[in-house]
Structure 1
Amino acid sequence: LHAPCTVLTLYWISMCKMADADSVYTVSRVSAWRGGSVTIPCFYDDIFKTHVKYWCRGRQWSSCPPIVHSDSPQEGKVSIRDDPDQQVFTVTINSLTAGDSGTYFCGVNISGGSDVGDHVSLSVTDGKMSVLQTVCVEFACSPQVGSCSSTCLFEWTERSL
């Protein structure tokens, strides 16, 4: 399955990933400006619609303390929202600082088993940066065939703070 390329509220660099069945997947890298906000999508398979989703920070999945959970979403610096109908949960980080740069994980809690998730690298920057803006004009999944496809437009731009 191919992971979709998704528009974020800011500018980002994405490398679409391959996703296995029964998985969670997100973009590979996100770049955003200091002081701004970023929203990161975490896509999941149908079997995880009723599971608790979470967002954590750490270099390794095994040592990644959760920051927010979908069963107790918070408002403030970091918030999480689950949309089971679209099979995506989004995490928004506000008031970004250089200290927010690092590796994060989108996770799904599996009671009595190993959690599943995917990682994303966030880079918070000042000044100018070259970015790849991605606009997906179509995204479709076929459960019968077991595949997803997306049509995306890409544009390199230079932005300054």
Structure 2
Amino acid sequence: MTPRAGAVWLPSALLLLQVPDCLSLSGPSTVTGIEGGSLSVQCRYEEEYIDDKKYWEKSPCFLSWKHTVETTESAREVRRGRVSIRDDPANLTFTVTLERLTEEDAGTYCCGITAQFSVDPTHEVEVVVFPGEPRTPPLASAPGPPNSQERSGTERLGRAGGEGWPVAGAMGRV
């Protein structure tokens, strides 16, 4: 193979390397949430994509046409199950919200734009879901000041602390 023949495929290979995480679409690289909670991801795009459909999908993102959720009109929110997407063309952003997070929601996703005459710009986002707090019954609250009926009983025990509360060792010393 001649050096010139090898150079023919080089620009095409470089183009493929630039498609994921291209500069025309940006956002966070990692977002976190707690199981049972929700999280939002905001992706920013360039003005040339203002009228194009925006989407969110689980990786692999390249060459996938099965989007988890996608916009249909600018500035409209679209919901699909626990996932929603909202395009805000005035700010050149779209926001994806995942609700009632589960462990299965963790993984790599892509913000993407359906480009009319080119490869879709995408941006990968790692979603991390931490275990939720275990549900425990509320703790019993500490007793407040005694009411008048309790106070009369306390006073029979003695006002060792001067506050109407029995003090350790005060019982039995009436």
The TM-score bracket by the shorter chain reads 0.5 to 0.7
Q: How does 1:62-77 map to 2 (within 5 A)?
A: 62-63=63-64, 65-71=66-72, 73-74=78-79, 76-77=81-82
Deviation at 1:74, TM superposition (A): 1.6
The TM-score normalised by the length of structure 1 is: 0.62
Q: Give the stretch that moved more between structures: 56-65 or 86-95.
A: 56-65
Task: Decide which of 88, 94, 110 is 1:89's aligned counterpart.
Answer: 94
Task: Give yes or no for the alignment of 1:121 onto 2:126.
Answer: yes
The TM-score normalised by the length of structure 2 is: 0.58
1:98, 1:124 within 8 Å by CA — same for their partners in 2? yes
Deviation at 1:77, TM superposition (A): 0.1
The RMSD of aligned alpha carbons is 2.0
Give the structure with the larger helix fraction.
Answer: 2
2:22, 2:121 within 8 Å by CA — same for their partners in 1? no
Count of aligned pairs: 109
| Distance in structure 2 (CA, Å) of the matches to 1:64 and 1:103 | 16
Highest CA radius of gyration, 1 or 2? 2
Query: Aligned to 1:54, what secondary structure does the other structure show?
Result: strand
| Distance in structure 1 (CA, Å) of the matches to 2:67 and 2:117 | 18
Q: Which has the higher contact order (CA 8 A, sep 6+)?
A: 1
Give the structure with the larger strand fraction.
Answer: 1
1:57, 1:65 within 8 Å by CA — same for their partners in 2? no
Q: Which residue of 1 aligns with 2:60?
A: 59
| Distance in structure 1 (CA, Å) of the matches to 2:80 and 2:122 | 23
Q: How does 1:18-37 map to 2 (within 5 A)?
A: 20=23, 23-37=24-38
